[in-house]
């Protein structure tokens, strides 16, 4: 399946064969290469090759840009949490980043049959910086409320007022 995806990409490098069309073209390409005599639809079993075959360099570039933005925003959120003393949230963000890396590594062996997991992770990744900003604002507000608003009066000054 991966060889078929690579051949599709080589034949249609700019925009691919079209989103969701890997399965449509699989039989023609597999027969041409002499790989798979089965008559059933197949998947590339590699997310990156499937994206390349279906959407070409354009789609791969967009996918890469989405990943770059996700990791950049997560890194900034992690730094924001850490700078504000919210170490637990910083560590949670780091753990989420490692989870994304694990998903992306496993995508070398799975295909786009489960895109909801990627888009769910992307949505969470892009929401975390907003959570970081809100948490920092909340921490700042709480710190301001805990500070005394005026200096306490000297004991002699208090007795003079009464």
Q: Quick: pLDDT tens for 132-142.
A: 999 989 988 88
Number of helices (H) and strands (E), helices first, in the chain? 6, 0
pLDDT tens per residue, range 117-130: 889 999 999 999 99
pTM of the model: 0.78
Distances from the Cα of 84 to the Cαs of 32, 137, 139, in angstroms?
A: 59, 10, 8
Q: Using alpha carbons, select from 104, 74, 101, 68 the residue that is nearest to residue 90.
A: 74
Q: What is the pLDDT of residue 10?
A: 93
pLDDT exceeds 70 at position 33:
yes
């Amino acid at each position: 399946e991966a060889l078929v995806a690579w051949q599709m990409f080589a034949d249609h490098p700019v925009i691919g064969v079209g989103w969701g069309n890997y399965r449509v073209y699989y039989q023609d390409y597999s027969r041409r290469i002499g790989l798979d005599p089965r008559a059933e639809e197949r998947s590339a079993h590699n997310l990156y090759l499937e994206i390349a075959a279906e959407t070409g360099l354009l789609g791969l570039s967009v996918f890469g840009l989405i990943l770059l933005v996700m990791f950049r925003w997560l890194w900034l959120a992690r730094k924001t949490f850490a700078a504000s003393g919210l170490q637990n949230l910083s560590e949670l963000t780091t753990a989420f980043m490692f989870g994304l890396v694990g998903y992306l590594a496993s995508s070398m062996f799975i295909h786009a049959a489960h895109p909801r997991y990627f888009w769910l992770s992307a949505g969470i990744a892009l929401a975390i910086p907003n959570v970081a900003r809100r948490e920092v604002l909340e921490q700042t507000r709480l710190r301001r409320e805990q500070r005394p608003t005026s200096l306490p009066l000297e004991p002699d000054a208090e007795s003079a007022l009464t």
